[in-house]
Chain A
Amino acid sequence: QVQLVQSGAEVKKPGASVKVSCKTSGYTFTNFDINWVRQAPGQGLEWMGWMNPNSGDRGYAQKFQGRVSITRDTSISTVYMELSGLRSEDTAIYYCARWEPTGDFNYWGQGTLVSVSS
């Protein structure tokens, strides 16, 4: 079965970087884009960016341009999201999600809590 398993919770200081992993299984890794979505406490869902694991093509939401980097390791079917210059407002649950041909997210990672505090 399709699974997306994310790395564990992180606690970071302001200004630091965080790298969250999303290990996939149960399907051909290179056949589906992986996207990243976050939810800050009391806030809505916010799309951050995507990657095509086959080509390596990627795109980012304008808000995160210059601060986010999505990479992959095809040998272990894993996509990474790195966010730099962390501030308290980046405290959120970060999700990876598989992009379906129908144009939606049907499989999600379990979420990774990133807390940013001095």
Chain B
Amino acid sequence: DIQMTQSPSTLSASVGDRVTISCRASQSVRSRLAWYQHKPGKVPKLLIYQASSLENGVPSRFSGGGSGTEFTLTINSLQPDDFATYYCQQYRTGRTFGPGTKVEIK
């Protein structure tokens, strides 16, 4: 199975900050990577697919990049609604989620 790691595991930030979350795959997944936002009591929300494509309706302050084994999710000008846990997920072979990055209020 392809293993996914994320860093940091927790990120403390303020409204207006620019934050970047990293995701690494144990082997190349090409661009077959998605990012999700998950809040307690809700279902995960798709943000980015194919590593860098923004899902319809997702604010443009979210962006994704990378390919192969290294990926990033960037949130420009963090908003109050953005405090949540973020997961990367590969779909090159099977589907594997990263362990998550919790973005909390500083």
Contact string against B for A residues 96-118, beta-carbon threshold 8 Å, 1 for contact and 0 otherwise: 00001011111011110000000
B46 within 8 A of A: yes
Interface size of A by CB at 8 A reads 21
Contact string against A for B residues 43-87, beta-carbon threshold 8 Å, 1 for contact and 0 otherwise: 110100110010100000000000000000000000000000101
For chains A and B in complex, what number of residue pairs have CB atoms within 8 angstroms?
57
B88 nearest CB across to chain A (Å): 10
A44 within 8 A of B: yes
Whether A103 pairs with B34 at a CB distance below 8 angstroms is yes
Whether A47 pairs with B43 at a CB distance below 8 angstroms is no
The listed residue (B85, B91, B94, B98) touching A104 by CB distance below 8 A is B91
Contact residues in A for B44 (Cβ distance below 8 Å): 37, 45, 95, 105, 108
Assign chain B's interface to a size class: 20 to 34
B51 nearest CB across to chain A (Å): 10
Whether A59 pairs with B36 at a CB distance below 8 angstroms is no
Contact residues in B for A47 (Cβ distance below 8 Å): 89, 94-97
> A54 vs B37: C-alpha distance in the bound complex, in angstroms?
30
| Residues of chain A at the chain B interface (Cβ within 8 Å) | 35, 37, 44-47, 50, 59, 61-62, 95, 100, 102-106, 108-111
28 contacts between A and B (CB under 8 A): A37-B44, A37-B97, A44-B85, A44-B87, A44-B99, A44-B100, A45-B89, A45-B97, A46-B97, A47-B89, A47-B94, A47-B96, A50-B95, A62-B1, A95-B43, A102-B49, A102-B53, A103-B34, A103-B91, A104-B34, A104-B46, A104-B49, A105-B44, A106-B55, A108-B43, A108-B44, A110-B43, A111-B43
